């Protein structure tokens, strides 16, 4: 079986840490480089539910998309929920490795996985300078309403579901996709001239301004749902690496929904 350091070297080759944004916190959070790895669990969030799942599964390594300590810390005391995760992992010899913005800009990366989940044909990056996002084509075209329903069916179910801005009967032939928060990308989306933009965490003012600029359709999904397909892509990549090296790793993808929103109540019509 491979050592943790050997597995991490391969993961860093897939998602080079130097490609991460300067503000990001990627790489190995905890783990003994010389420890053997037999089972790996992929997940979006390094929360207690995922640590407990890894323990039950017998995983030696968790790979998550989101960092545990994005803004740093001065303590890992178990009285805090993040410290409790660290204690669970270290006490049970479970390593944690993070690939965040370095996985967003990878090729293939987070947005490729999102496009693949919706069976879209990728034609290029949305932001060529750093490889963020993807421009895709639908074949055959759909209405914005149909495309949103497609996203609702193919992405993991969440309390938020799918929100749409724009004419629901407008024809969609080309789509920009970006896993995770995407409302900083509207300039690139407009420059791409696409019919719709699928992403997450769209705020009121950027979304309102975007719909005033052009007939662009907006499809807003839950942040977690747009990034979860990457876990399946990443797991398949590690499976291939394991086969190539004869490691015999057992690779799993968590189906635990760690999206923070737990319920959705539709509001009445405005007065």
pLDDT in tens, 206-249: 999 999 989 999 999 999 999 999 999 999 999 999 999 999 99
94 and 126 inside one domain: no
Residue 271 is assigned to a structural domain of this protein: no
CATH code of the domain in which 62 resides: 3.40.1390.30
What is the average pLDDT across 249-267?
Answer: 95
Residue 234 is assigned to a structural domain of this protein: no
66 is in an annotated binding site: yes
207 and 113 inside one domain: yes
Give the pLDDT confidence score for residue 220 in this predicted structure.
98
Residue 247 is assigned to a structural domain of this protein: no
98 and 113 inside one domain: no
46 and 113 inside one domain: no
How many CB atoms lie under 10 A from the CB of residue 153? 10
Give the pLDDT confidence score for residue 213 in this predicted structure.
87
**pLDDT single digits (tens) 34-74:** 999 999 999 999 999 999 999 999 999 999 999 999 998 99
More confident of the two residues 11 and 266: 11
Q: What whole-number distance in Å separates Cα of residue 170 and Cα of residue 35?
A: 55
8 and 96 inside one domain: yes
Q: What whole-number distance in Å separates Cα of residue 71 and Cα of residue 69?
A: 6
What is the average pLDDT across 3-29?
Answer: 97
Residue 243 is assigned to a structural domain of this protein: no
Nearest in space to 154 (alpha carbons), one of 198, 191, 95: 198
How many CB atoms lie under 10 A from the CB of residue 233? 21
223 is in an annotated binding site: yes
User: What percentage of the chain has pLDDT greater than the value 90?
Assistant: 97
Give the pLDDT confidence score for residue 269 in this predicted structure.
62
160 and 97 inside one domain: no
Residue 119 is assigned to a structural domain of this protein: yes
Q: Beta partners for 143?
A: 171
Instruction: Note the pTM of the prediction, 2 decimals.
Output: 0.96
Identify the domain containing residue 33 by its residue range.
4-103
The interaxial angle of helices 4-14 and 223-245, nearest 10 deg, is 120
80 and 129 inside one domain: no
Query: Of 82, 103, 124, which residue sits at a domain end?
Result: 103
Give the pLDDT confidence score for residue 267 in this predicted structure.
80
Helices (H) and strands (E) in the chain, counts: 9, 11
97 and 149 inside one domain: no
- Whether residue 271 has pLDDT greater than 60: no
Strands (E), the chain: 27-30, 39-43, 61-64, 95-98, 121-127, 132-143, 163-165, 171-181, 196-200, 217-221, 250-253
104 is in an annotated binding site: yes
Residue 263 is assigned to a structural domain of this protein: no
> How many folded domains does the chain comprise?
2
- Whether residue 16 has pLDDT greater than 60: yes
User: What percentage of the chain has pLDDT greater than the value 70?
Assistant: 99
94 and 27 inside one domain: yes
Q: In the 8-state DSSP scheme, what is residue 93?
A: T
93 and 121 inside one domain: no
Residue 79 is assigned to a structural domain of this protein: yes
Nearest in space to 5 (alpha carbons), one of 50, 53, 70, 61: 61
* Cα-only R_g, the chain: 19
65 is in an annotated binding site: yes
118 and 95 inside one domain: no
123 and 144 inside one domain: yes
């Amino acid at each position: 079986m491979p050592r943790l350091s050997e597995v991490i070297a391969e993961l860093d080759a897939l998602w080079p840490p130097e490609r991460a944004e300067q503000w990001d916190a990627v790489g190995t959070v905890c783990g003994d480089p010389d420890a053997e790895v037999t089972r790996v669990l992929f997940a979006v969030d390094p929360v207690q539910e995922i640590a407990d799942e890894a323990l039950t599964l017998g995983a030696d390594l968790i790979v998550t998309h989101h960092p545990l300590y994005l803004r740093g810390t001065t303590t890992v005391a178990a009285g805090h929920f993040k410290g409790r995760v660290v204690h669970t992992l270290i006490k049970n010899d479970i390593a944690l490795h993070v690939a965040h913005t370095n996985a967003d800009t990878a090729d293939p990366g987070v947005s490729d996985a999102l496009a693949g989940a919706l069976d879209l044909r990728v034609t290029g990056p949305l932001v060529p300078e750093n490889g963020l996002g993807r421009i895709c084509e639908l074949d055959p075209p759909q209405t914005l309403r149909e495309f949103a329903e497609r996203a609702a069916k193919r992405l993991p179910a969440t309390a938020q579901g799918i929100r749409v801005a724009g004419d629901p009967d407008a024809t969609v032939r080309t789509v920009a996709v970006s896993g995770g928060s995407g409302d900083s990308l509207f300039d690139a989306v407009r420059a791409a001239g696409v019919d719709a933009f699928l992403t997450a965490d769209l705020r009121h003012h950027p979304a309102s301004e975007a719909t005033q600029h052009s007939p662009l359709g907006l499809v807003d999904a839950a942040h977690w749902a747009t990034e979860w397909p990457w876990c399946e892509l990443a797991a398949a990549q590690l499976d291939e690496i394991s086969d190539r090296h004869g490691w015999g790793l057992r690779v799993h993808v968590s189906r635990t929904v760690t999206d923070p929103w737990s319920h959705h109540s539709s509001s009445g019509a405005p007065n």
